[in-house]
Structure 1
Amino acid sequence: MSLAALSLRCQQCHTAMRLLPLPMSRQFHSGPILLARQTKKITTPTKKQLAEKAKRRAAKAQKSIYESEKMKLDDAIAVLRAVEVASPNATYEITIKTEMPNGAAVPKGRYTLPREPKAASKDKILVFAEGRQADEAKAAGADIVGGPELVDGILSGRHQATLFLCTPGLIRGISAKLGRFLGPRGLMPSERRGTVTDDISGFIRRLKGTAEWRGDKAGTIRAPIAKLEYPVEDVVKNIRYFLRTVKIATGNQRDPTDTGRKKDNQPVNPITKVILSSRQGPGIQIADF
């Protein structure tokens, strides 16, 4: 049928209108072939590529002005003494950063510095013991002594302590209920730490005059180590003693008094940094630790 027959004419010139031929097929921009070309192939980076990327990021990261400066211990002490010249009663603080590999426990231990910067805090000791051992624990200075009946009081918060000891005969009866409660806090008695023993009274006597150090979840240990008014020799002696204690507890050094009780495959917390600081002074990284 023609356009004239359809009466399709231009209103201005009254001539018949022409229609453009339509294509036989429509072109879609979202056809399956075109979409397949636009899809990007996702590649998983290798471990080597990830390590190189992390290395580049670490190199670009802004660092502290003291990050690249390491000093010997004697030089660091001299710098802090100069900074704190107006505060001779200020305290040195030592910060030890350790790695926390999988399966490693939060580092902790006890120490007695050759010259204490402050009076040691007194522990509140709870002992699981019965019979003669319970009497010996009370005579040695334990604050709370009893058997499995103490478990409910510990869970409810009625019995609180900073140190828990137990005899080997009672450890199985309390582990099921107290393991999840005291374990995450590092207070659960264990043979590896020496807090499960038959010699309760001897253990308590050895604790007298000692202080406890404990790392945080990231493995960082902080402790006051000396006063600025101390002679340099005393400060060095305190720091060397504390470092040796931490190295033994974290597996970086063998205990000369160890009789082979500890396992050789015990996880090691490598020491990455040792920083000495004071109240107003900077944190100085020690090179010779």
Structure 2
Amino acid sequence: MGKKYVESAKLIDKGTLYEPSEAIELVLKTSKAKFDETIELALKLGVDPRHADQQVRGAVVLPHGTGKKVKVLVFAKGAKVKEAQEAGADYVGAQEYVDKIQKENWFDFDVVVATPDMMGVVGRLGRVLGPKGLMPNPKSGTVTFDVAKAIEEIKAGKVEYRVDKTSIVHVPIGKKSFESQKLLDNFHTLMEAVVKAKPSASKGQYLKSVVISSTMGPGIKINSTKVLD
């Protein structure tokens, strides 16, 4: 552990479950890196992701965005190409981008959007996009004919959340440079979406733990019973 990390850890009581606002103030105080660190949530859920009826996945537009400039790749054809370009897509095309990704290992993008009629082409990239969490999906709004709306939402701060094999959801809610109130607004918006996404097959306690941290800082536990207060 680095000296700054150790100093930051001293400010946190590991046995305390903090109120969301307190935790956010603490995470900003313990972010000591020289770059603009990302503030991220790690949510441990009471679901078994091995079962299809206990998957938790969706997307939500954070009111203040994530602070990151997002590059969008759109797979489209015909009139949808111009629509995507006018909406601000960084890259728009079809087979040429499949080839570029497969042959050049090119990944200069953060989100992939595809029109439904392009999924046959995009499907060839499943093995490389899937493990990176980049495969377009109707549940996250990235498989749609309304490409302009999808791009605008992504650029405005739309984030995707998805439970992993260990039943944890990792989602960024902003940057160290954000005001604490903006981080709190983003926090509540995300938590509301994840709580609403609770599968009916999930029994018992749904929110097992909520931890907030910066890129280089220690984790701070949030009282999960207070997340929507």
- Pick aligned residue for 1:209 from 156, 179, 186: 156
Alignment of 1:243 onto 2:191 = yes
Aligned residues: 201
- Pick aligned residue for 2:206 from 262, 265, 270: 270
Distance 1:90 1:180 in 2: 30
- Pick aligned residue for 2:131 from 184, 197, 201: 184
Distance 1:246 1:198 in 2: 25
What is the one-letter code of the residue matched to 1:288? K
Name the counterpart of 1:58.
none
Alignment of 1:129 onto 2:76 = yes
- Pick aligned residue for 1:165 from 104, 113, 124: 113
Q: CA deviation at 1:238?
A: 3.9
Q: Which has the larger radius of gyration?
A: 1
The answer on whether the counterparts of 1:120 and 1:211 sit within 8 Å (CA) in structure 2 is no
SS at match of 1:149: helix
Distance 2:141 2:151 in 1: 11
The answer on whether the counterparts of 1:80 and 1:277 sit within 8 Å (CA) in structure 2 is no
Structure 1 residues 190 and 221: CA distance shift in structure 2, 3 A: closer
Name the counterpart of 1:109.
59
Structure 1 residues 173 and 163: CA distance shift in structure 2, 3 A: same
- Pick aligned residue for 1:221 from 170, 177, 181: 170
Structure 1 residues 135 and 159: CA distance shift in structure 2, 3 A: farther
Name the counterpart of 2:142.
195
Distance 1:281 1:192 in 2: 32
1:173-197 per-residue CA deviation (whole Å, 9 max, x = no partner) reads: 331x212221122211122222111
Q: CA deviation at 1:153?
A: 1.0
The answer on whether the counterparts of 2:95 and 2:121 sit within 8 Å (CA) in structure 1 is yes
Name the counterpart of 1:285.
222
Q: CA deviation at 1:225?
A: 5.4
What is the one-letter code of the residue matched to 2:100? G
Alignment of 1:139 onto 2:86 = yes
**Sequence identity percentage:** 26
Give unmatched runs, 5+ long, in structure 1. Answer: 1-64, 254-263
The answer on whether the counterparts of 1:154 and 1:160 sit within 8 Å (CA) in structure 2 is no
Aligned-residue RMSD, C-alpha: 4.1
Q: CA deviation at 1:100?
A: 4.7
Distance 1:149 1:282 in 2: 42
The answer on whether the counterparts of 1:213 and 1:223 sit within 8 Å (CA) in structure 2 is no
Q: CA deviation at 1:93?
A: 5.7
Distance 1:111 1:280 in 2: 25
TM-score, normalised by the number of residues in structure 1? 0.54
1:128-178 per-residue CA deviation (whole Å, 9 max, x = no partner) reads: 111111111111111221122321111122463211111111212331x21
Q: CA deviation at 1:217?
A: 5.0
Distance 1:273 1:236 in 2: 17
Distance 2:24 2:190 in 1: 20
What is the one-letter code of the residue matched to 1:167? T
Relative contact order, higher structure (CA 8 A, sep 6+): 2
Per residue, is there more helix in 1 or in 2? 2
Q: CA deviation at 1:210?
A: 0.7
Give unmatched runs, 5+ long, in structure 2. Answer: 1-12
What is the one-letter code of the residue matched to 2:220? G
Name the counterpart of 2:6.
none
1:226-283 per-residue CA deviation (whole Å, 9 max, x = no partner) reads: 869957x6665443223113334xx228xxxxxxxxxx779xx932112356787872
